[in-house]
Amino acid sequence: MECEYNLTRDAEREYLNLNPLQRGGILPEKTREALYDFGDGYSVCDYCAGRLDHISKPPINSFLDDLAEFIESDVVRTVHGAREGKYAVINKVCEPGDTVVIDSNAHYTTYLACERSGVNIIEVPSTDDSENKITMEQYRKTLEEAIDEVGEIKLALLTHVDGDYGNLTDAKEFGKICKNLGVASVLNCAYSMGRLPIKANEWDLDFVVGSGHKSMAASGPIGILGMKEEWEDSMLKKSPKFPKKEIEMLGCTSRGAPIVTLMASLPYVKERVANWDKEVKESRRFVKELESIDGITQIGINPTNHDLVRFDTPRLYEIGQKHSRKGFYLYEELKNRKITGIKRGQTEWFKCSTYGMTTDQRNYVIDSFKEIVEKLS
């Protein structure tokens, strides 16, 4: 029986994909083999005795230990995504009506997790300039003012790398601030865990959350929740009726292909994290080359400390105003050159990433942008 839907996708086989949402989630070949073997629903449950984290075939139990060591956290659980990790922490640490402090560059799911938990939000503002940076001085000031205003703040959240500008924040200083003020800390590492080193205990963080499908070369959806040992009993409290099941995890979380692809990719992810400095260097070179085109400027911390970069591109917008295809010309010109990942119709600004690309591939992307501008100016 043929499928009635078109489920083909050749973005990774035929194109260079610039979508920062996807660059860190591309599966290596060995992981694709595991995806094939464990694609069936509940495929990891063949030898389950009631606890996902106790399964030894495949060795999920030892994998969680390896994952905890990798991010330098005491205890780790997988969840269905970074957003589920944030929600679980907020829901457990806070009560409805409490107030949580978050940075204003936070992902929309941080807001939704707070709203779903019934807590109020106080935002730490970013700098009022093109960098849109979250400084730790401002974070401390806002948190202190929130404590004075509300009386008690149980939880503060910082976005390690935001999805709008790719700004890397000071996680260690954040942990220190929260510790000194007696506030539990959670770091959203959706765009960092699996790309750059995470040192949860060294940074004195109570919780860290990450995304397997966004930054750890897993098919997903799957997330990572790490915590200090002191939170284990309350965060992973068991059900009185079903004593093997952890309430906040709703018993079991990611099963089948998501967790197996995360497992299969961990050695690969460890290797690429060790090369993070090289990725940053290449990202800065990429920015410099695109900024050499008149009318293209990076927005966010410059020089960048991440692969996700945002550009303001009035030159590309200006070309579109005179082009027969209007704003769609850029997408089509790039696609003709086997480059994808920039949204259709978007020319005033765009976000992109060349994470994991070779030098030749990056150069090809750079040359393509230069050729398009030269051709159509």
Q: What is the CATH number of the domain that holds 39?
A: 3.40.640.10
Residues 230 and 348 in one domain: no
pLDDT score of 344 more than 90: yes
The pLDDT value recorded for residue 233 is 96
- Read off the pLDDT of each residue in 347-353 and give the average, rounded to a whole number: 98
Q: Which of 220, 245, 272 is the last residue of a domain?
A: 272
Q: What is the pLDDT of residues 159-206, one digit of tens each?
A: 999 999 999 999 999 999 999 999 999 999 999 999 999 999 999 999
Determine which of 7-11, 77-81, 147-151, 224-228 has the lowest per-residue pLDDT on average.
Answer: 7-11
Residues 195 and 333 in one domain: no
Burial class (CB in 10 A: 0-12, 13-18, 19+), 191: buried
Strand 120-124 to 309-312 pairing: unpaired
CATH number reported for the structural domain that contains residue 337 in this entry: 3.90.1150.10
Q: What is the pLDDT of residues 276-288, one digit of tens each?
A: 999 999 999 999 9
Residues 366 and 255 in one domain: no
pTM of this prediction?
0.95
* Cα separations in angstroms, 3 against 11, 37, 39, 113, 257: 20, 21, 17, 36, 21
The pLDDT value recorded for residue 220 is 85
Domain count for the chain: 2
Q: Which of 217, 239, 272 is the last residue of a domain?
A: 272
Residues 260 and 283 in one domain: no
Residue 209 region, left (φ>0) first, then alpha (ψ -120 to 50), else beta? beta
Handedness of CA 144, 175, 222, 7 (dihedral sign): positive
The pLDDT value recorded for residue 19 is 97
Maximum mean pLDDT: which of 34-48, 117-131, 244-258: 117-131
Domain assignment of residue 5, yes or no: no
Domain assignment of residue 2, yes or no: no
Which domain does 210 fall in, by range? 29-272
- Read off the pLDDT of each residue in 144-173 and give the average, rounded to a whole number: 98
